[in-house]
């Protein structure tokens, strides 16, 4: 690739990044349905013709943003474990967890998950990507035997999903390393009993 081509690629990536960044802010401010292409180009300080070089319409921009983000999410989850056939919880280092670092670095995009008028299908696409990641995991017990309890993966997946949504909605007060360590401790904990709070039971 020539230097000119490299510079063009960088310019394209930079321009698209600017459009996406302002689009995210506008969706948070106005709601997806109320955001127009004019809003995006005015906020980005570009003209409409430049926008149409890269995108057909608002929906095209939103679709690329979601697909790109979720593709990176899946890669971030698997990247620390590439080449490993079995992952030992005890050998996972929170600082090596690219998954939570990705969520943190892209928290502005993921903040759109919990607003009412968000990008259509974003919440469903995120959950489906989450399911794909977690349903691809085979959990092993201390004897390295497969845990075949029905709904076990679903339990793990939705539990993790809830923790992550709560973290994102709380504006990621904990660092990626702290939340990764918290979830890791949850996964490593095997409880044998539980107790209920003493509250009045009414019929």
Give whole-number Cα distances, 140 to 27, 109, 130, in Å: 42, 34, 20
Helix or strand holding residue 47 (H, E): none
Determine the Cα–Cα distance for residues 62 and 20; give it in Å rounded to an integer: 8
Q: State the chain's maximal CA–CA distance in angstroms.
A: 77
Q: Any idea what DSSP says for residue 89? A: G
Instruction: For the chain, 203 residues long, give each residue's pLDDT as a single digit of tens.
Output: 565 555 568 999 999 999 999 999 999 999 999 999 999 999 999 999 999 999 999 999 999 999 999 999 999 998 888 877 787 777 777 666 799 999 999 999 999 999 999 999 999 999 999 999 988 888 888 888 998 899 989 999 999 999 999 999 999 999 999 999 998 888 888 778 887 777 666 66
């Amino acid at each position: 690739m020539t230097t000119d081509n490299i510079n063009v690629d960088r310019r394209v990536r930079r321009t698209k990044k600017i459009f996406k960044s302002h689009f995210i802010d506008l969706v948070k401010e106005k709601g997806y349905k109320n955001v127009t292409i004019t809003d995006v180009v005015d906020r980005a300080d570009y003209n409409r013709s430049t926008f149409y070089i890269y995108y057909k319409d608002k929906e095209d921009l939103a679709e690329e943003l979601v697909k790109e983000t979720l593709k990176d999410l899946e890669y971030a989850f698997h990247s620390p474990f590439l080449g490993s056939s079995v992952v030992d919880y005890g050998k996972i280092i929170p600082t090596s967890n690219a998954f939570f670092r990705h969520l943190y670095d892209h928290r502005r995009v993921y903040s759109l998950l919990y607003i009412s008028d968000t990008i259509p299908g974003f919440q469903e696409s995120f959950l489906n990507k989450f399911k794909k990641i977690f349903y691809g995991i085979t959990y092993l017990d201390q004897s390295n035997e497969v845990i075949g309890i029905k709904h076990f993966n679903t339990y793990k997946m939705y539990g993790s999903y809830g923790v992550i949504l709560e973290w994102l909605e709380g504006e990621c007060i904990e660092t990626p390393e702290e939340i990764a360590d918290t979830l890791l401790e949850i996964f490593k904990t095997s409880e044998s009993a539980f107790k209920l709070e003493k509250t009045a039971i009414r019929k």
